[in-house]
Amino acid sequence: MKNELSKNFVKTDHGVWVDKAQVENFGYTDGVWVEQYLTDAFNATDDLSTSSAELETHIIDWNTEYHLTRKRHNLLANLSYDRSHSVLEIGCGCGAISRFLGETFDNVTSVEGSYERARLARMRTRDLDTVEVVNSRFQDLGVEHAFDAVFCIGVWEYSPSYVDGPTPFEDGLAAMKRMLKPGGYLVLAIENQFGLKYFANAREDHTGTFFEGPEGYPRTSHRVSTFGRKDLENRLSDLGETSEFFYPVPDYKIPDALLSQKAFEKLDCGELLGAFPERDYAGQKSPFFDTRLVWPQLARNGMAADMANSFLAVIGGPDKPGMGDDLGFIYNNSRARGFETTTVLRETEAGVVADKALQFPELAKAGPVSIAPKSSPWLKGDTVAMGFFLKAHSGQLSLDAQLSDVKIWHKAICEHATGEGHDRSVPGEYVDMVWQNAVVTDQTCTFFDHELVLDKPVPVCHLVARAAFLWLLRYNKAEFAHTNALRHVTSIRTICEALGERFDASDVAALIALEATLQSAVGGGCRTTLTRKIKGQLNLPKYKRVREAQASATTLVRRANNLRRRMFSR
């Protein structure tokens, strides 16, 4: 591709190809201060790879998270690719996806209309000779039928801003198709006009206004629009190729999972969809309803795919990338490197299984904590955690009724305990057998996806307390009756006593120590800092003030960032 580029483009000192005719730049920007901050971050970072934990240390807000998080490449990882394929990336921004493509393919041309963003993309890929960055509109490259693949991630919705004419979306797709060799494929990611989060009081991702998408973009269609699934399928069908849809969860920007269309047909995936909270990137607001309760209803009625927050569409012939027989992938890559995992949902003759594997198995131990992921069958029905949440949320049941499945879980745990009374304990591999990793069916408790192992026995009362603590953190808006829900330590004590377990001051201290040990191993954080954080989460009176001080500090950082934006904007 370098030879083709040299005909009409010249490379600058920043390593970016620019049009010799100096065509006007596309003016998209996150702000001058963001671009300067990213410049400083890239200059200060040695590891620029897609899995760089070093880059993540520079995240201070949503803008920097979008460009620096390890989660960005989850959108495309694990699909099947041919490394020799030549790739055109349209709208590469600051290079997060460019980096993944350069690590995956041998010949990548990344195009960006803004010179400053193209410069940053070159900085992000500076150690990759597989990537060329071009400052241009893609339709001005002057080549046709030159690429095996075109990637357009979060860009096509802006077609009215960079494609001239009365039908910019259709013309943009046609131009992309002209770039492809015969048999090539297009990979396109875009938000859903009817994403569930928009109905739950999230603002439209591009415009920052409420209900702009569901209302049909009456105020902003001249610069941006997204589409519902059916409309998108119809528009893509005009390319004359078959399309396959995948569903990033919670969305394509910061995905924790990627599901195929078959996953919605084969799995009861409502609780899985609700496990990854949606975000309002313009600033979180109180939702109108709890999406964790809505997703299972949508899944049961075959509507979950239509209400997904984002789509990933792959359009092309038989050689286009896909999942093969897999149904989806779930990623845990915001952890310490040795504890990062990828789970593959796979259909077998015996049913669907979840195969979890470590990314760096040689690092799978930190102090007394190790990780030993296992394959688990995909179990039907609500987890114990979700069942308890539903019962507590109803506000109409006694505490005994709310804890019906929890008691069956407790009985199953105790069957493997040794010792008597408060000294009963279970082996260290039970430390992760908490409520979200258990399903009760016909009065029988089945465990799955328990991966952490402690190198010493765990007292049963501490395991009960840990399960309750994690449940309260995840479902903190549940109307848990019979206790002051503002004091998590009181709620935990109430649950323990209902199960016949003691939970006194010494057990509170033991819970804090246990959870800090596990979190510091898995997340790689400072144990002392985590201890203070956990005490604040428990709402212990002394540490409630600490948590309030931390919230105040966060507000001050946000104000400082806003001031920095204004300074750079002058």
Q: What is the mean pLDDT of each run of 10 residues along the chain (570 residues)?
A: 74 90 60 90 96 94 95 95 96 97 97 95 97 92 90 96 92 94 96 97 95 96 96 92 94 97 93 94 86 96 97 93 94 93 93 93 94 92 94 86 96 96 94 97 94 97 96 73 61 94 94 96 93 89 52 55 50
Return d(Cα 101, Cα 287) in angstroms, integer: 36
Task: State residue 184's pLDDT score.
Answer: 95
Task: State residue 264's pLDDT score.
Answer: 95
Task: State residue 534's pLDDT score.
Answer: 93
Task: State residue 523's pLDDT score.
Answer: 93
CA-based radius of gyration for the chain: 25
Return d(Cα 17, Cα 492) in angstroms, integer: 60
pTM: 0.90
Can you spell out the DSSP letters for 402-451? HTHHHHHHHHHHHTT-BSSGGG-EE-GGGTT--GGGEEEETTEEEE----
Task: State residue 546's pLDDT score.
Answer: 47
The region that residue 93 occupies, defined by phi over 0 for left and psi between -120 and 50 for alpha, beta otherwise, is left
Return d(Cα 262, Cα 378) in angstroms, integer: 14
Return d(Cα 535, Cα 548) in angstroms, integer: 12
- What tokens were used for 189? 């990611």
Residue 485 to residues 75, 234, 252, 462, 466, Cα–Cα distance (Å): 37, 49, 34, 20, 16
Q: Residue 29 contacts by C-beta under 8 Å, 6 or more apart in sequence?
A: 35, 114, 116, 117
Single-letter amino acid code for the residue at 101: L
CA atoms within 13 A on the CB side of 145: 3
- What tokens were used for 392? 């507590």
Q: Residue 347 contacts by C-beta under 8 Å, 6 or more apart in sequence?
A: 262, 266, 325, 326, 327
Return d(Cα 131, Cα 233) in angstroms, integer: 31
Per-residue DSSP letter, 177: H
Residue written as token pair 């996953």? 263
3-state helix, strand, coil split of the chain in percent (to 5) is: 40, 20, 40
Query: How far is CA 164 from its chain centroid?
Result: 34
Task: State residue 319's pLDDT score.
Answer: 86
Return d(Cα 485, Cα 478) in angstroms, integer: 9
CA atoms within 13 A on the CB side of 104: 24
Task: State residue 322's pLDDT score.
Answer: 93
Do 28 and 16 meet the contact criterion of CB atoms below 8 Å apart?
no
Task: State residue 28's pLDDT score.
Answer: 62
Return d(Cα 483, Cα 490) in angstroms, integer: 7
Return d(Cα 551, Cα 156) in angstroms, integer: 38
Return d(Cα 456, Cα 451) in angstroms, integer: 15
- Number of H helices and number of E strands within the chain? 21, 21
Interstrand relation of 86-90 and 16-19 (parallel, antiparallel or unpaired): unpaired
Residue written as token pair 């490449």? 73
Interstrand relation of 369-371 and 147-153 (parallel, antiparallel or unpaired): unpaired
Q: Residue 423 contacts by C-beta under 8 Å, 6 or more apart in sequence?
A: 459
